[in-house]
Structure 1
């Protein structure tokens, strides 16, 4: 690894603290990543110097805020290589982005007996909106099964495709297992029968290089807070021709061109989908998070994270009672596991006593946990600022916990 890990860690104030008298080891990055100082500074700077509503003001503060806000939209466009910034819509997060598609594209283009395909490993936010839509429209939800190692069964997906399939909505990288799905193949197969494809990129965007034009996905949803940015902010990418056919999601200011009591004329994209005062400060700060990622390079980041995952697998594989969950060949840096005879929550608390922050539970993937016949897992997820010594600390903790239970 050619970048300076110590210097990178120095950019994140939250990492330099003790938890229960131990140095913090933060391995909950799949839930939310920590924020570099530049992101924190951007938030403060906006409120101290540029605080104003955007787009509609003629004064200097409004102009500055608007320019900074729209600069982030351009950065997102470059980050995912969309054709134009108008295809980038700001939302509250991945969940709202998926719901936006369900309530606009879904309501307009999906009808009785039409079919939507998802996979067994979906987050609840990529299950529930489609269940709601299917209940309303009389459509059917189809589910791609997965293998024991956490990979989808592609042949079964192909069997599900038929002329009634209108949408495939699938996670790019599983938050619970780390599995990277073969989305390029999925998109190609779906397009051959005329279906559109939405990718849940909440996990993949922080680990993988994303090119929406090369992938040819119709929609991509992701969140800023998993990309070293602020919480409460997300992105929906959509192809222009599809977005223009979709009705607005919310009504109000900014999404209109002209309003009378007789008729409202809607604004152009992306503003048609951005009603009301947006999350201005966090959008501007998100631009700094994207700059941070681009300064390091996705390939460099992924190489480091892959090395950490490989090291964690190596150090834990021989621990008696250690049960990995999700062993796909192609993964992002997520290690999900259980310790024989122990509840995940108990393991998480014991690791927390060592200053190690991990996530426990079903990870908003209850159907997936049911597939494996378990209540949940312990999930350690790694980011660019994590170190091998932290992995060693965790492995030592897991080994001690497992010995207590299995001696």
Structure 2
């Protein structure tokens, strides 16, 4: 929304939160009052009609009818039916507002600083064409620097929870071609440089993830609740890539790292809880949401457990783990099998959750 800016102050943020929960409550109060007056009017009108129609014919029947119309149980039953219909109509709006404001805190300022210090790189294209140098040392340095630039260009399309997917789709062919050129250069000049190979594999993996997200977001475009939740988890997976550098190592400049990762985990669980409340989902939706949820959960758990010791990481090991996870994710998405909501296990703490953690490739 145009009225919402990234540098929103904490005071305004609290005002929006209050408005988020105050407005539904006031609407509910107004609805209850309107229904109470409407039911009273109906009761009075029916009683008045009965007085003029049956008074002379059957006074006894009139008195019994009037008593029944004023019974609290009758009004209460009608009121509850109306409230159920109102709640069913209001639920999608409430979930939409919850999605908006629950993600608000993860892209706003914390203590006067953003989670990622510095500015986002300017969105730019790959104006220069990569050429493989003749010398091995120059080729290694040139490929590494070029991969850093490519990764910065990719992540520049993500700001907070927004992802300009269509703009990224326009430059993705150039990025993919550039990665292929660098890969050929690396295989020719430095086929045994594990650090450079791991960087290349991670950037290639991230590019494929972004491209998959573009296709998913093109498909899930409606305002139905399950599609809103699906889009939120898809964008979360895209956003998590920006928390790493071109080697896959978590960025050191993330402010309040542990708290920030914990908030994202709580947010993911909130979306999963909302999804579990939905009924009449289209075929395959359970499996898709579960694949995106599992992907985000595993990446967040990995970021949470490796956020402090990344100075001693072996990038080749990181790349191997990333590739195995990507293969696992790809299998889940493409298999098309119903996974029967495996993520229920984590939320409910049953044995199914422990089984999933045991085969976690991270």
TM-score normalised by the shorter chain: which range applies?
Answer: under 0.3
TM normalised by structure 2 equals: 0.25
Which structure features the higher share of helix residues?
A: 2
Greater length-normalized contact order (CA 8 Å, ≥ 6 residues apart) = 1
TM normalised by structure 1 equals: 0.23
Which structure features the higher share of strand residues?
A: 1
